Every structure is written in C-alpha cells, then in structure tokens.
Amino acid sequence: MNRPELRPYQTQAISNLRASIASGVRRLILQAATGAGKTMTAAEIIRCCESKGKRTLFVCDSLELVEQALSAFDNYGLDVGVMQAQHIRTDESRLTQVCTAQTLDRRIKSQRYEFEQYPVHLICCDEAHVQHKVRDELAVLYPNAVILGLTATPFSKGLGTFYQTVVSAISMKQLISEGYLSTYRAFAPFVPDMKGVKQTAGDWTKDASAEVYDSQIIGDMVSHWKRHAHDRPTLAFGCNVAHSKAIAAEFASHGIAAAHVDGYGNDADKLERERTIERYKSGDIQLLSSVSMLTRGFDAPLTSCLIIARPTKSLSMHLQIVGRGLRTFAGKDDCVILDHAGNFVRHGFPEDITDFTLDLGVKGESKDKRDKGEKLPVPCPSCQTLKTSHKCPACGFAPEKQNEIVNVDGELVELSKVEAAKPKQFTKEQKQQFYSELLTYAEKRGYKHGWAANTYRKRFEVWPVGLVEEKRQVSETTDKYCTSLMIRYAKGKGKAEANAA
C-alpha cells in the first residue's frame, strides 16, 4: 500500500530516537507540538517493529483517542488489534495492540492478560504528560521493552523520574514558518484579576475561576467574537460546566449555532455528545464549548477561532488549548485567539517556549510554568492585540513614553481629594465611564491618540483592555483629576529643568 510520506523532521526525530536507544536509553519522550504528527511518527517506528515480528502496545488516555490511533494506523498499513471488551477489532494475536490505560490496568489487576504468551518490545504512551500508574506496571512486566512517551507538553511533575530523556522533533516556530501549523492572531479583550481566587494542586479551582466571569463579560465575548472572528468555526473553553453552558447559551441567544459538550452522563449522553461533535465538524454548529474535554487529543482542523475563558497557571494546559486551533485546513488562513483568561499574558506566546527538559519532581522547581524574567506579551491598549514590542504590529499604536514626574507639595490638593474619594473596587461600568470621559477630554484639548489610555493606566495601573472607545461628557471629578495631573506634570518638569540648570 501507499503509506503517507513522512515529513523531514519526522524522519530526523526517528533517527534521533534510535541513536538514544542505541546508547542504552530505554525510556524516552518524543515531544512535538499538537498537529506535528506524533502519531504518524510513532506509526513508522511501530512498522519497523512489525517488520521484525516484534509486538507493540499503544496506550491511549481515552476511548476517543483509541479510535483516532486506530484510524491512523490502518492508514499506515499496520497489523492492529484493539484490546477492549466487545470491540469489533479485538484480536490479541495482532502484533500491534491499541488500548486505553484504564482497560489495560484492569486486565493486569485481574490477571486476564497473558503477558508471557504475548511479549512486548515497544510500549507507546500517548499523551504521556498524563501519568497513569499502568505505565509503571508495564515497566515491571516488560523490563526490556522500550517505552516511548508522546506529548506536546512534557512538563508534568516528576516526569523525569521515569523517562530518561526527551527528543524534540521540531519547534513550533519552525512548524508555523514552514506551513505545517497555522499562523494565528491573539487578542486579550479581558484579563481577569485572579488575586485571591481559591487554588488546589497549584492551579485555580474551576468553580472559583468561574465566579470571576459575570454576565457582562460573557456578553463581551460575543461582541469581540463578532468583531474579530465572525463566521469562523470556534472552540470555547470555560472554567466549569455551568460556565461553558452559559457561554454557549449567550452565543445561541445572538442567533449563533452553539452547543456545549462534556464527558458526563450515560451511554445515551455519549452518543449525543458524539453527534454534537460531528455536527461541529460538519459545520452545522459554529461554536462548540467545553471545559477539559476538547483540550487533549481533539482533532478538528477546520477550527479557526479559539475563545479562552479558563484561566490556568499550567503552561501545559495553555499549550494544549492553543494547539486545538493551529492545525492547517483547506481555506484556513489563520486562527484568531480571543484570550479572556489572561493566559497569554501569564505564559507567553506558545512558539517562544523551547525548553522541554523533564521535571525531576524537585519541590519548587516546576517545569509547568514560564521562567521568571522572560518577556511576556501585553495587550495593545488600542486594539487588544497581544504584543511584546512597544509599537503594536497590528495597528501601529505606541503608548507615549512618559517623563519621570517629581512629586511636589502645595498645589496638588485637588488630586488628593479625588484620589481619597476613590472606592477600593471599581465596576467595569465605572471604569468605562472614566475612560469615555478621558476620550472626550483628550479630544477637546487636541491631545494625541493614546493620551486617554495612558491616563487611565495611571489611575488603575492597567490598560483599558476590553473597554469601548465611546465618548461621554466629562464630569467635574474627572476634570479636576486631569487638571491635577497637569499641575503635577508642570511642577515636576519645572523642578527637573531647574536642577539641570
């Protein structure tokens, strides 16, 4: 049969893996971004095993991934059986066996698998960042087998205490530049304040995260989607099931075909879930919302927009979510990513992450986060495009660099009054009102574009991301605030000039 042709970097990755195995390494990680073809690379390795009469176990994280692997291996001409009760493809005599970690674990514990009759030479662990106990059990049962983990995100705690090395097939930046992955544009219309939000296991809890999002913010998701991604097939990621359902309901209320899916329920629910996913892939549903179900192994290349409304401290989760939108597809120019979770501001651009050393389980040295000191993107205050440069590459806006102001006494009474009257917490409407008044103030005085955003930032210490540029009548309080800033600036500039003289 005519097998799919391997890409050059896949062939090179196989050579690098072989070199590591020849040097005595038996437990390896193959790292490559979502969409790079890790399963296809594994298929060629498995084919080589089959040609020598050697057996392989391909261990998946879910039943859905079993079917995906089965389809890929059939396409590659492998001799495949499925280790699953009542599956039409169950045939343990086949050289390659595809199974879930859960099924394999049950069979080992019940001693229903004849390990001596079926010796295994290669064990592939798909989604290897999810560390199932059965992996360790297999290592004991087959001490001479090569164990190959496949993952885009080898950051899990203690992964390096089992695997000996990681082989990175190709960088995400190169995959994008060579056209193997889609380009993307990322916007941050809303960056949630996660200070004080409840955490567990090093990340914010789903329910506590959902409380950050009120109905107005969910409504804003629709308006920003219409502005940046209208008519694009879209995946949305919420904090919990209720939040995900609310996102889908909000889009549906605006006449957009939207649905929610999750992993809960009985067999009937599973069938309905599968139908819903197929309706999304066929174009009948435009927006599909979920929590965790679509973050791993979900393959829908037509997706050209992501709505991220699930804040996470996990670099792995960030990369897994973004990867859902970067597969190439006929007619797809790029992917628009609307980050309403602040994950890009927290973790950075995925293609800039190149350190894939394995975590050794040392306390306080987690690999599942960005290193401190690395430059992270910020949203442009004018168009919300995420950027690391001073000048926005999308709209050209560059915030004015402010002169250092020297605090002076005496004539800043009005500023003190205004600042003292500020409440500790502001609603979004109060912030919008202030920003709208600043826009009017700037227009009347002929100030440059960007003055209002800079002045807003002086007061709230953040850019007016997610606010609309509508002008409103300037209140007396805002007028006094702006006047006091001018007094501060004039006094500071005069004192600086005097010192220079």
Convert the pLDDT of each residue in 136-192 to its tens digit. 999 999 999 999 999 999 999 999 999 999 999 999 999 999 999 999 999 998 888
At 129, the amino acid letter reads H
Select the more confidently predicted residue: 468 or 373.
468
Say if residue 261 is in the same domain as residue 206. yes
Would you state the pLDDT for residue 84?
A: 85
pLDDT classification of 422: cutoffs 50, 70, 90: very low
Would you state the pLDDT for residue 493?
A: 56
Q: How far is CA 447 from CA 271, 444, 455, in A?
A: 60, 8, 11
- Residue 316 DSSP class: H
| Cβ contact 81:91 at 8 Å | yes
Say if residue 60 is in the same domain as residue 208. no
Nearest to 186 by CA among 380, 374, 317: 380
Would you state the pLDDT for residue 288?
A: 98
Report the DSSP pairing between strands 334-339 and 183-187: parallel
Report the DSSP pairing between strands 386-387 and 378-379: antiparallel
Would you state the pLDDT for residue 217?
A: 85
- On average, the pLDDT of the chain sits at 88
Q: Which of 215-219, 266-270, 488-492 has the lowest mean pLDDT?
A: 488-492
Q: Does some domain include residue 336?
A: yes
Q: What gap in Å lies between CA 263 and CA 312, rounded to an integer?
A: 20
**Does residue 473 register a pLDDT over 50?**
yes
Say if residue 70 is in the same domain as residue 197. no
Q: Does some domain include residue 331?
A: yes
Say if residue 269 is in the same domain as residue 348. yes
Phi, psi at 340, each rounded to 5°: -95, 15
**Does residue 346 register a pLDDT over 60?**
yes
Q: What gap in Å lies between CA 209 and CA 309, rounded to an integer?
A: 9
List, in sequence order, the alpha helices (H) in 361-450.
Answer: 413-420, 428-445
Say if residue 382 is in the same domain as residue 263. yes
Q: Does some domain include residue 316?
A: yes
Domain boundary residue, one of 353, 387, 421 = 387
Select the more confidently predicted residue: 376 or 405.
376
| Domain total in the chain | 3
Say if residue 225 is in the same domain as residue 370. yes
Q: What gap in Å lies between CA 287 and CA 291, rounded to an integer?
A: 13
Q: Does some domain include residue 287?
A: yes
Report the DSSP pairing between strands 56-60 and 122-125: parallel
Q: Does some domain include residue 276?
A: yes
pLDDT classification of 265: cutoffs 50, 70, 90: confident
For every residue of 238-257, DSSP letters joined together read: -SSHHHHHHHHHHHHHTT--
**Does residue 421 register a pLDDT over 50?**
no
Q: Does some domain include residue 55?
A: yes
Q: Does some domain include residue 405?
A: no
**Does residue 366 register a pLDDT over 50?**
yes
For every residue of 41-106, DSSP letters joined together read: HHHHHHHHHHHTT--EEEEESSHHHHHHHHHHHHHTT--EEE-STT-TT--TTSSEEEEEHHHHHH
* CA 330 to the chain's CA centroid: 23
Containing domain of residue 496, as a range? Answer: 413-500
**Does residue 486 register a pLDDT over 80?**
no
SS3 category, 336: strand
Say if residue 427 is in the same domain as residue 472. yes
pTM of the model: 0.80
SS3 category, 99: strand
List, in sequence order, the alpha helices (H) in 309-427.
Answer: 315-323, 343-347, 413-420
Q: Does some domain include residue 431?
A: yes
Say if residue 140 is in the same domain as residue 208. no
Q: What gap in Å lies between CA 138 and CA 114, rounded to an integer?
A: 13
Q: What gap in Å lies between CA 48 and CA 42, rounded to an integer?
A: 10
Residue 26, both tokens: 């038996």
Q: What gap in Å lies between CA 70 and CA 48, rounded to an integer?
A: 17
Nearest to 80 by CA among 68, 103, 18: 68
| 299: CATH | 3.40.50.300
Residue 353: count of CB within 10 angstroms of its CB: 21
Q: What percent of the chain has pLDDT over 70?
A: 90
Say if residue 305 is in the same domain as residue 427. no
Say if residue 28 is in the same domain as residue 148. yes
Say if residue 180 is in the same domain as residue 114. no
Residue 419: count of CB within 10 angstroms of its CB: 12
Say if residue 222 is in the same domain as residue 319. yes
Residue 203, both tokens: 């990340």
pLDDT classification of 452: cutoffs 50, 70, 90: confident
Would you state the pLDDT for residue 425?
A: 64
Q: What gap in Å lies between CA 291 and CA 185, rounded to an integer?
A: 22
| Cβ contact 336:173 at 8 Å | no
